[in-house]
Amino acid sequence: MTQKPMYEGKAKQVFATENPDELLVYFKDDATAFNGEKRGTIGNKGVLNNKISVFFFNLLGEKGIPHHFVKTLSEREMLVKKLDILPVEVVVRNIAAGSLAKRIGWEEGRKLPTTVVELYYKNDDLGDPLINDYHIKALGLATPEQVEIMEKYALKINEILSAFLKDKKLELIDFKLEFGVHKGEVILGDEISPDTCRFWDSETGQKLDKDRFRRDLGDVEEAYQEVLRRLTGENS
C-alpha cells in the first residue's frame, strides 16, 4: 500500500478508492486499551478481525440489518460504503462486565434482568464519555430519529447475534456498535469482532475477546482464532 490513509485509527486504516462512495479498510495488528493508555500488538489480529467482521456483516445483512460492508479484498482488507459517521457509540449489555460492573457495583458475570443500551460520545480526547439523548441533542451529534434507528438496530442485532452464538457455545456479554449515514440512510459501520464484543465460552466462562489483552490473561491470538473457528470452522 503506497496510498496515504485518509484516516488511521487504533485498529484500522481507511483509504480512498476510485469510487467516491466506497472506501478500503485495512485491519492492523495494533491493540490498545483504556483509551490508548495500554498499547501492544496481537499476532494476526487484523486478519482475524477482518474475517470475523465479514462473517457477522453477512449474517446481519441476511437478517435485514443494513451495513457498510461491500466485499473482501484480501485477508486484511475490506471494501465498504463511505459513511458520514455519527459520533455516537451504541453499547448493548446483557451481562454485567467491565465498566458497567464497576459503575453499578455488580459482580462481573451477573446477568442483567433486562438488556441495557448505553450511548457514548465518540471523542478520543474526552475518553468517549457516557451520554444521553439530551447531550446528543445539545451537542448536535445526531437527530432524535437517527438515535431511535440506531437503538432499534442495536437491539435487533443483539437478538440475532445472541441466538446465533448460543449454538456456537458463545455467550454475548456486551458489544459496541458504530453507525453512519450513507445516501441519507443510517446503516451499521465499523467492525464486529473480539475487539468490539465480549465473548465468553458459555460452558467454562473463558474470555475469548480483547479482555485477554486488557487484563494480561495471555493467549490473546488463540482466543480470537477460537472465535473464528467456532463461527466458520476456519482455524486462521
Confidence at residue 1, expressed as pLDDT on a 0 to 100 scale? 43
Series of mean pLDDT values for 10-residue runs along the chain (236 residues): 74 95 96 84 95 98 98 98 98 97 97 98 95 98 98 98 98 98 98 98 97 96 97 82
- Contact residues for 135 (Cβ-Cβ < 8 A; gap 6+): 121, 141
Confidence at residue 3, expressed as pLDDT on a 0 to 100 scale? 66
- Quick check: pTM over 0.85? yes
CATH number belonging to domain 7-81: 3.30.200.20
Sorted by where each begins, the domain ranges of the chain are 7-81, 84-219
Backbone angles phi, psi at 38, to 5 degrees: -110, 130
Q: Which three cell numbers stand for residue 129?
A: 464519555
Specify which residues 85 forms β-bridges with: 180
Nearest CA among 66, 69, 80 for reference residue 184: 66
- Report d(CA 157, CA 164) in Å as an integer: 11
- Report d(CA 53, CA 69) in Å as an integer: 9
**3-class SS at 176?**
strand
Confidence at residue 236, expressed as pLDDT on a 0 to 100 scale? 60
As assigned by CATH, the class of the 84-219 domain is alpha beta
- Contact residues for 140 (Cβ-Cβ < 8 A; gap 6+): none
Backbone angles phi, psi at 204, to 5 degrees: -105, -20
- Report d(CA 90, CA 32) in Å as an integer: 19
Q: Which three cell numbers stand for residue 156?
A: 435487533
CA distances from 45 to 24, 113, 153, 171, 204 (A): 18, 33, 27, 21, 23
193: alpha, beta or left? (left if phi > 0; alpha if psi -120 to 50): beta
Instruction: Give the count of alpha carbons within 13 A of 220, CB side only.
Output: 23
